[in-house]
Structures are given as C-alpha cells and as structure tokens.
Amino acid sequence: MAAEPSAHALIAAHRPTLDQALEAIRTRAYCSPHPEHPKAYGENGSLDAAAGKAAFDALLGTRLDLGQPGTDDWTGAEESPYGIALGVTYPHADPDVLLPAMRAGQPAWRDAGPELRAMVCLEILKRISDRTHEFAHAVMHTSGQAFMMAFQAGGPHAQDRGLEAVAYAYAEQVRTPAAAEWTKPQGKRDPLALTKTFTPVPRGVALVIGCNTFPTWNGFPGLFASLATGNAVLVKPHPRAVLPLALTVRIAREALADAGFDPNLVALAAERPGEGIAKTLATRPEIRIVDYTGSTAFGDWLEANARQAQVYTEKAGVNTVVVESTDDYRGMLGNLAFSLSLYSGQMCTTPQNLLIPRDGIRTDAGPRTFDEVVADLARAVDGLLGDDARANGLLGALVNPEVKARLEAAAGLGEVALASREIVNPDFPGAVVRTPLIVKLDGTKPDDEAAWTSECFGPVSFAVAVDSAAHAVELLRRTVRERGAMTVGAYTTDQDVERSVEEVCLEESAQLSLNLTGGVYVNQTAAFSDFHGSGGNPAANAALTDTAFVANRFRTVEVRRPA
Amino acid sequence: MAAEPSAHALIAAHRPTLDQALEAIRTRAYCSPHPEHPKAYGENGSLDAAAGKAAFDALLGTRLDLGQPGTDDWTGAEESPYGIALGVTYPHADPDVLLPAMRAGQPAWRDAGPELRAMVCLEILKRISDRTHEFAHAVMHTSGQAFMMAFQAGGPHAQDRGLEAVAYAYAEQVRTPAAAEWTKPQGKRDPLALTKTFTPVPRGVALVIGCNTFPTWNGFPGLFASLATGNAVLVKPHPRAVLPLALTVRIAREALADAGFDPNLVALAAERPGEGIAKTLATRPEIRIVDYTGSTAFGDWLEANARQAQVYTEKAGVNTVVVESTDDYRGMLGNLAFSLSLYSGQMCTTPQNLLIPRDGIRTDAGPRTFDEVVADLARAVDGLLGDDARANGLLGALVNPEVKARLEAAAGLGEVALASREIVNPDFPGAVVRTPLIVKLDGTKPDDEAAWTSECFGPVSFAVAVDSAAHAVELLRRTVRERGAMTVGAYTTDQDVERSVEEVCLEESAQLSLNLTGGVYVNQTAAFSDFHGSGGNPAANAALTDTAFVANRFRTVEVRRPA
C-alpha cells in the first residue's frame, strides 16, 4: 500500500525515541527527549527564536483554515493576558458533518497497528517540537505564562508528556500478542487446536477539552493516548486558549496525511463566545472518550452525563504543605517562595495551604515561631520578586479577570502576611501582573475553615496555624479526602511526622514531595518519572500517565478459528 | 514480623505458578494449572469425589459461621434447582460495623506488597482447588449446572480465571518500580537528584455482586483482582447462590489469617429474602470498586449510581451466529447443537440468533435451504439429547422459574422448529429439565423484531431468515451495537463474508469464533488465552481479563525526596 515506504521511514526515524521512552517509563529515571533550552532549536529544520517569533506574528489576525469538513463558520476572539488581541479565527464545525468524517478514517488507522500509529504520533510530536518557539508565544499569549515557562512547560515538557502517553499506549497494545496458537491436550484423542488473532480496536471518537492555563501540557496526554490507541480525536480548546491546540491540530493533520492516513482523524472544534459546545459534544453518541482539565463543577458534570464515554478528568484540589521542621530553613523558604510565585500560583499543583504549628518549628537556624516563619516566607517571596524584570519572568500575567477578582477578595479573608503587589510589564503594559498574597488563618477557627478548605486558584496562599504536627496531619487527611489534592508537600526532620504524612498520602492517594529545598519544586512533575495526580482523590480521576490512563481507550478483539 | 517465615514458604510454593500464569497471559497459549478431570483430585491434601460429596452433605442444614464482626443475624434460603433445600444460613452483616473492620487490615495488606499479596491469593486458590469436589456440588445445587459442568466451570476453570486476574494484577503493580533515582543534568551546576518511591495503594473496599448461574466463575476475577491490588473485598452473593461464595470467603479468611493478615480483608454479605442490599452496599462511601454480573437493568443502575466506585459490569447481550456456508455441515450442526444445549442455554455466551439466508446455504453436503438447515439443526439437537442420562448431564436444570416461564412464552413467538421437551432427572425428581426450543423468525418482519433483538435468557434460540449474507452482516452489526454481545459466531467459506463479519466485530468490539466444528464451542472461553467479553459493546463494560480490568483498582503513590 502507499503508506509502506513512509512507514519504513517513520520507523527508522522514531523507533529509537519510542524505545527510549519505553525504557524510561520502566525505570522512571530522568528522560527528556525534547530539549529544554531555547538555544537548542534552530537546526535540523526546527525554528530558532527569531523564526518562531516571526511565525507566531504571522498568525495574528489570520484565519486558520484547517481544511476540515463540516466547517460552517469561522470564530475566535482570543485576548492575550498580555493585552494583545490575537485576531485569529478558526473553523466552527457542524458536528453532524465533522464527526462522521472523522470516523471514516478509523478502520485504516486501526489496521495500521500499534507501532505505525506510535510512529505517526512521534512524527506529529517531532513537527511540534520543531516549532517549539512558535508554540511558546502561542502558549504565552493564551495562558499568560511568562515566555520561558511557556517555552518549557508548553513546549518540551508538554511534548514529553505526549510522548509518555504514546509509550504507555504502545506498551499496552502490544502486551497481548497479535496472534497465538492454542493447543489443548485431550488425552488419547487429538488435541484441540485454534489459531487466534488479537487486534486492538479504538472505542470511537475521543474528545479533548482543553484548559486555559496549560493548553498543550494538559491537552497532549489525552490527545496522544487516544490517537495512539486508534481513536480519532476532536480537540475542543478553551475559548481563551485556542491557538496552541489549533496549531497542534494543523500539524497532526499534515503528518497524518503525509503518512497516508485520513487527516480528519484529528480535528478542531472551536466555539463561538458563550456557545458552550463541550456539553453538546461530550454527550454525542460518537464520542466514546473525553479528556478534560478544568473546574470541578464541569468535571463532575461530565462524569455524570457523558455516560457513553470513558471520562478522564483533572479538576480542582486544595494542595497542602506541612511545615513542621527543617534542617535547611533558608532552602525551604526559597523553595516555597518559588513555588508560590511561579506563574502567579496559577498551577493546579501550586501549594495553597501551609500548615504551620502555632508554637513554631525547629530549624537549623534555631526555633522559629509561626509568625516568624510566615514573615520569613513573605520576605523570601519579596526577595525573589524584588527585581521587576525577574518578577515578570516568574509571575507571568493573571490569566483572566476571575483570578484577579479572587486575589482581591482573598485579602479580606484574614490577616495579610504578604500583600499582593502590582508589577508593570514594560513590554506588555496591558498585562495584569500581581505578586502572591499570603493570608494568615487559624486551623481551629470555624470562621476560617471555608477559606482554607476551598480552592482559591491564583496567587493566594494561606498560612494556617495548627495546634501540632498531629493536627496538621489530621487537616491534611481531611483536605485530601474531601477536597482532593494534586500535590502534597512536607518539611520535617522528625521520622514519626514523616511517616504520618506518608501514611496519609498512601491512604488518601496523594503525591508527596518531602523536604524540597533545591531546584525541584512541589508544583513541577517530570514526564516519564513523576506521576501528575494520583487519580485516587477528588482532584482527578486519572494520573498522567499510567496504564489506567491508556488501557481503556481501546479494546482487544479476538478472532479464533480452527488451526 | 510474624508473617516472614510464612511469606518465604508462600513464595516457594506459589511463585512458579504465578510465573507460569504471567507467561501464559504474555503468549496466550494454552494454560490450565488447575486440573479439569475429577480423578485428578484426592492426593496431596485435595478432596476426592467421595470426600468432596461428604463435605458438601455435611454443610446442608448448618449455620456457616465465618467469624465476621458486625454479624447481627443469620440468613439463607437457598433452594437447589435440583429440588433440595440447602438449609444453610450465613452471617447477615451490619455494614456500619463490618466495613470499618474490613478497612482496618488494609494498611498491612498494602505494605505486604504485590508479590506477597499474589502469593496469598494463590494460597487461597490452592485451598479452593483442594476442595473442588465440594465446590462442584455447591455450584451444581445453586446454579443448576449438571455435575460435570459445575465441577469444571465452577472449579478449575473458575480457579484459572482467578489466577489470571492475580497475574494481571501483579504484572500491572510491578510495572512501575518500587523505587527510582532521578538525576537531571544542570549544565555546569550540580545535577538535581531525587530519590523516589512508588507504592501501589488500594482504592478501598471492593464489592463483588455474585450471580446465580456462575457464582465462582464470574465472581473470582473481580474478587482476586481487587484483593491482589490491596483492597478488602466484600462478597454479596446472589441469594440463590450463596454457598459457593461463602465457602470461598471462608477459605480466604483462613488463608489470610494463616499468612498473618487480618481475615476481615474478605467478608460475606448475605441478605434476607427481598432485602436488596446490593444497592445500599454499592453506594456506601467505603465501597470504591464494584464487580457485577447480571441483568442490564441493575448493571446500568450501578454504573449510574455507584459513582464513588469503579464499576465493572457484565450485563445481558444478544449473541448471534451467522450461518452462511460451511465445508463441514455435520460438524457445524453438532457444534451448534452442543452450544445450544449446554446448561440449557443459560450462559451469557450461548448463541441466541442464528442468521441464515432464506435462500439457503452452501455446504459440503450440497446446498441446504433455510428450512433444511433449521430442521437438520433440530435433528442434531434431538440426537445429542436423545438419551436421557446424556441429556441430563448436558442440560442441567433450569436455574429459576423465570427461565421456565420465558421458555414457555417463547414458543408463541413464531413457528416452532424444535419444541422444548421435558426430561426427568431420576436422581433429582424435583429438577426442572428442558431441552432447547428453536423458533423460526423472519429478519425482515417488523413483528418478529422485538423477539430477536431482546435477550431471551435460557434454552431458546431463534433461526432468523435473512435476505443475504450482507443482510446477516447488517443485522449482526445492529444487534451488537444496540444490544451488545458476549460472543459472535460465524460459519462461512467465503472470504468476503468472513472479512465482513470480522470487520463488524472489529468495529463493534465483539469476540468472534469462526467455523467451529470440533470440540471448542462459541460459548466457552479459556482463561489465559481467550477474552471473555470485550468491554466495548453494551453487553459488558469490562473484559475478563485484560489490563483495564485491574489497572484502576489501585493507584500509585509517589514519594520523592532529595537524594
């Protein structure tokens, strides 16, 4: 068939990368095939910084025609958190035309088998990687991330997460052999003998519902897991963060077509302002898989209503750090200050509640009272963000007016230990840039409870005074069990406290970072090694990435016949 | 700890069996560690036929005290389909006491790790295997299966399915290493280095809701998959088929205690007549996993309402065999006759609709008209069941009065091609034994459609006249898509027809048996090699057994700390 030469070339080009990823998910050692440094790009067909910026600029104000069937209109109204109107319009789809067209290519995609599908996915990732600089600007101007973070998290780290999903999907599909001979002895009679084939088959069309803050990082795992397992994938981006996923869809369609497959296996569903098409699409009978990142309310709605589909959700959680004692006080303060500041705390993994004994903590710099710890942390944040250029580079911009309103309201929730400051971004005067707010609360006061038991998404954290380490552990357990958590952190030099925190995390299914004082932060996870979420507490029903994330996206059909 | 010596002994005893099972699920070749032949039992501590029968007899009329906490009453009213009142009573549980007691042992069970948990599960299976003869009578007198089928399907085949689930659960839990060192280069600076641990943790208490027809075969996979992944397991048997699962729970509790674990990790929840505790239990917050085999109505209810749990269901389906042509007419008729007769068609895998072109089929014995094929099949069934002793040995008894009522009503649905006969069981005069009914329907008549598009569970099949092979394939697709199917069969010598049927099964996720004419039947699947169900059509949301069946019963908790 026509795809043959292309298949060989793809395998030659990408099989080593797949093997590297398969080895990494087995050992969970460090692995990042996509380079993190901006200067690593510019050769072998990849865009350098200038070319990437030019490519992004050229997109502004244009119509991104993806050549999709069933396009009945053009829509798009993205406003960058940095104050630029992107002016890009995208195809608006008639699902009655688009969805059947997406299904048409599925049999050939299924027949391609797990390896060739993985290779095409890796070719898509390669082409995305080549345009990392362009993606960085697209992610920056939709999420509000600062450039360097948009580059890394929206580029190589997102691509790593996509590759990780492909590796899990491939491994799972080839776990059952494609064929088997089965011979059952029958004593003196001839044995019974059957020839069996086992074929991974897709569930149907998968829907990826993108989020505003991490369109690629949170979108790629579901997209690639579904595509690699044979499903067509419809991408419904957040209306404020269309461009990075529209570029992704364009590249995927081109790579599919070049490999001899139907480009309609991947398509975009952009929506008109206020249209709310996610509900309509997620409950269509053709949609058999949904990946979603966003609010708990809509995640719960999807789980309850998209009953014809496998639904994978990442929702809100309340992340806690227990601060009990440390042998590196300075390192702890610096590490926490960075975690609270990065992307203005607009990460699902940013710590919110810092549980600190009201009698203070033991440190290598001597004992510190609750008030001292909070004041020292406030100073650490101030120090980190004292230079406006550095602050802009860390904080990025508030992603939307709701975050700004929440931040402003949070100052009234208790005693302000660190006020949020406004910072001017000289390059983008329209950007809303704010430093983190730290509010003191009391873990025994009923009046304070509503604040620290709810997610306050944005640059807001609560220093919560607790009675003891045991009290901290109890509040941690309650928070994870009732509110969920993407991350838990703890600082302690006490073996018993460490064990108690670990036991809570094991019993309530939360991912724990202990005593981070260096250049790894509780809110960052590394593909191939760290799980993002656990799928076992209310913050998310799936983890990135484990077998459960891929194994139910396809089914295995057996055909048996006499040998 | 106290369990140490026991752990070594368990590993020495059972690790080879686990390794054999792990190899079998990788190759999907023949594997059946539990002997099928009744005479294989009686040595090395296993009960022989007489001892097994005596053990069963000794149970009748007794109270089966499992020593469970929270037992507030005794209940049980099983009537054998063979006309014997079993008179066994079982603990009735107060879930407010029992469920917390079941959770208490989970941390130690979690800390035992995947290998030791697998070994304890295999020890449970070994002790069950030793009592296979006793289980055979218990299964026979609750399901109505004939003795030999109760022995094999309820004994070794069920045990094989349990072992298969343990193997999948073990493989999945050790896929991520228990620990990893992660080192990320930082150019000229020191690398970032973390030590990470990864622990499989249970979801909570699992609930197994047993069925009437295959209490062990359908109960073991969920039970062992959940237990092997660290969960406590509450077994809620069908009120008509308590004994086999109560014996299972008793053995599991003994084996757990002997290995140094809390016996309350496995418990029984028998119910009073009409109590309907499955709904109450399945929606308790402690219950995080539900396995269910039974009606579509209740399976759908569980999926919609037990939202706090992972729900695995096997529901009703409409199984179809396309009869288009054959080069072994006699073999085909014999094979189909056996499939229709085995256990009076009371298997979720028994063919119901035989789609046969109205113009007839090509065979090695010359062309046969629709009427001839149906008449020949009726004769084959009659021949197979002509001898009463043989008929009793194949048919067993009707499991409950609903099946009998359904059979009687079905004779009015169309022209009867083969009437159901009553057969006397000389050993058990109270048994209701009936031969299969075959009714002719027309696949183009709207009046007939209600019959062949609904599951008619029991010894009823429909010979449905279709216009052509293409028409058969179309009806097959509609049936699988809308009604679900546990099995699909086809007889054809035509490559195009074979491809069409195969394509339907791939697109609609159904397991296909082609041209079976010998000693393998469409309604039988072999553990380690055949998938039971696909999990991709309305008949079941899970397959026995694949990774998806085990991977979400546990979560992996990562703890990372500076190296």
Which residue in B has a C-alpha nearest to residue A306's C-alpha? B304
Rounded Cα distance between A404 and A346, Å, is: 11
pLDDT for the residue numbered B273: 87
Q: Model confidence over B144-170: pLDDT tens digits?
A: 999 999 999 999 999 999 999 999 999
Give me the average pLDDT of each 10-residue run along chain A (563 residues).
70 97 97 95 95 98 98 96 97 98 98 98 98 98 98 98 98 98 94 97 98 98 98 98 98 97 98 94 98 95 96 96 98 98 97 97 98 98 97 97 96 97 97 98 96 96 98 98 98 98 98 97 96 97 97 98 96
- What the block records as the tokens of A166 is 């492909």
Cβ separation of A183 and B505 shorter than 8 Å? no
Helices B243-258 and B220-228 sit at what angle, rounded to 10 degrees? 20
- Which residues of chain B have a CB within 8 Å of the CB of A510? 557
End-to-end CA distance of chain A: 28
- Which residues of chain A have a CB within 8 Å of the CB of B182? 28-30, 526, 529
Q: What angle do CA A36, A40, A45 make, to 5 degrees?
A: 120
**Closest residue to B562, CB basis, from A172, A507, A517:** A517
Rounded Cα distance between A400 and A144, Å, is: 9
- What the block records as the tokens of A300 is 């719960």
Rounded Cα distance between B264 and B510, Å, is: 38
Which residue in A has a C-alpha nearest to residue B530's C-alpha? A558
Closest CA of chain B from A533, distance in Å: 9
pLDDT for the residue numbered A5: 56
How far apart, in Å, are the Cα atoms of B309 and each of A545, A552, B203, B539? 21, 16, 9, 20
Which residue in B has a C-alpha nearest to residue A532's C-alpha? B558
* Residues forming beta bridges with residue B180, ordered by sequence position: B196
Rounded Cα distance between A460 and A420, Å, is: 9
Rounded to 5 degrees, what are φ and ψ at B267? -145, 165
Rounded Cα distance between B200 and A541, Å, is: 16
Cβ separation of A192 and B548 shorter than 8 Å? no
Q: Model confidence over B495-535: pLDDT tens digits?
A: 999 999 999 999 999 999 999 999 999 999 999 999 999 99
Domain ranges (residues) in chain B: 51-175+194-315+543-562, 320-514
Confidence class for position B487, pLDDT limits 50, 70, 90: very high
Specify whether domain B320-514 bears CATH 3.90.320.10: no
Which residue in B has a C-alpha nearest to residue A30's C-alpha? B182
pLDDT for the residue numbered B2: 46
- Which residues of chain A have a CB within 8 Å of the CB of B509? 201, 203, 555, 557
Q: Does B23 touch chain A (CB under 8 A)?
A: no
Cβ separation of B30 and A552 shorter than 8 Å? no
| Residue A534 · residue B555 · CB < 8 Å | yes
Closest CA of chain A from B164, distance in Å: 14
Cβ separation of B551 and A551 shorter than 8 Å? yes
Tokens 């079905």, residue located = B410
The pairing of beta strand A287-293 with beta strand A205-209: parallel
Q: How many residues does chain B have?
A: 563
Q: What is the ipTM of this complex?
A: 0.97
Which residue in B has a C-alpha nearest to residue A106's C-alpha? B507
Q: Model confidence over B7-29: pLDDT tens digits?
A: 999 999 999 999 999 999 999 99
As a whole number, the mean pLDDT across chain B is 97
The pairing of beta strand A310-314 with beta strand B90-93: unpaired
Cβ separation of B559 and A505 shorter than 8 Å? yes
| B235 alpha-carbon distance from chain centroid | 15
Cβ separation of B181 and A29 shorter than 8 Å? yes
Rounded Cα distance between A197 and B409, Å, is: 40
CATH of domain A3-12+53-177+189-315+543-562: 3.40.605.10
- What the block records as the tokens of B188 is 């000229």
Confidence class for position B4, pLDDT limits 50, 70, 90: low
| Residue B72 · residue B92 · CB < 8 Å | yes
Which residue in B has a C-alpha nearest to residue A111's C-alpha? B506
Tokens 């036991």, residue located = A503
- B-contacting residues in A 150-179 (Cβ below 8 Å): 172, 175-177
Cβ separation of B559 and A502 shorter than 8 Å? yes
- Which residues of chain B have a CB within 8 Å of the CB of A558? 511-512, 530-531
With 0-12 / 13-18 / 19 or more C-beta atoms within 10 angstroms meaning exposed / middle / buried, residue B475 is buried
Specify whether domain B51-175+194-315+543-562 bears CATH 3.30.70.260: no
**Alpha helix positions (H), A175-242:** 220-228
**B78 DSSP 8-state letter:** -
Cβ separation of B506 and A199 shorter than 8 Å? yes
Tokens 């058969």, residue located = B472
Confidence class for position B6, pLDDT limits 50, 70, 90: confident
Q: Model confidence over B464-477: pLDDT tens digits?
A: 999 999 999 999 99
Closest CA of chain B from A121, distance in Å: 22
- B-contacting residues in A 336-365 (Cβ below 8 Å): none
Cβ separation of B184 and A526 shorter than 8 Å? yes
Q: Does B104 touch chain A (CB under 8 A)?
A: no
Q: Does B450 touch chain A (CB under 8 A)?
A: no
- What the block records as the tokens of A186 is 């029958």
In angstroms and rounded to an integer, the radius of gyration of the C-alpha atoms of chain B is 25
Q: Does B426 touch chain A (CB under 8 A)?
A: no
Rounded to 5 degrees, what are φ and ψ at B354? -105, 110
Task: Look at residue B5 and tell me whether its pLDDT is greater than 60.
Answer: no
Maximum separation of any 2 CA atoms in chain B, in Å: 88
Cβ separation of B556 and A546 shorter than 8 Å? yes
